[in-house]
C-alpha cells in the first residue's frame, strides 16, 4: 500500500468509528487527533487492532506515542515506513 492508501483507510476507519455527522465530514489527513480528543488511550488501542487485523501491520510499543499519532498523515507515514521495513525483512529471509 502507498502512504495515500493508508491515509484513505485511516480516514474511513477513524471517521466511521470515532466521529459523527459534521465531525466526520471535517476529518482530513492533518486534523489533530490527540489534541482534539479524537484519539485517547482506548481509541488508540482500537486503532492498533484495526491496523494489525485489517492492514496487516504490527506497531511496536516504541512507536505508540503522541508524535506518531498526532494526525492521520503522520500515522500513514509511519505505517508506510513499517510496511517497507517489513517487505525488506521478508526479502532478506
Q: Hey, how many other C-beta atoms are within 10 angstroms of the C-beta on 30?
A: 12
50-67 per-position pLDDT tens digit: 999 999 999 999 999 999
The CA distance from 48 to 59, in Å, is: 7
DSSP classification of residue 60: P
pLDDT of residue 89: 67
CA 73 to chain centre: 8
Asked if 6 and 79 touch (Cβ cutoff 8 Å), the reply is yes
pLDDT for res 88: 63
Q: What pLDDT, in 10s, does the model give residues 65-89?
A: 999 999 999 999 999 999 998 766 6
2-35 per-position pLDDT tens digit: 999 999 999 999 999 999 999 999 999 999 999 9
82: cell is 513499517
Amino acid at each position: 500500500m502507498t502512504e495515500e492508501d493508508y491515509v484513505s483507510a485511516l480516514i474511513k476507519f477513524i471517521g466511521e468509528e470515532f466521529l459523527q455527522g459534521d465531525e466526520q465530514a471535517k476529518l482530513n489527513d492533518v486534523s489533530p487527533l490527540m489534541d482534539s480528543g479524537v484519539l485517547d488511550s482506548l481509541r488508540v488501542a482500537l486503532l492498533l487492532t484495526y491496523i494489525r487485523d485489517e492492514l496487516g501491520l504490527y506497531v511496536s510499543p516504541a512507536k505508540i506515542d503522541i508524535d506518531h499519532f498526532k494526525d492521520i498523515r503522520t500515522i500513514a507515514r509511519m505505517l508506510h515506513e513499517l510496511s517497507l521495513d517489513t517487505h525488506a525483512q521478508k526479502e532478506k529471509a
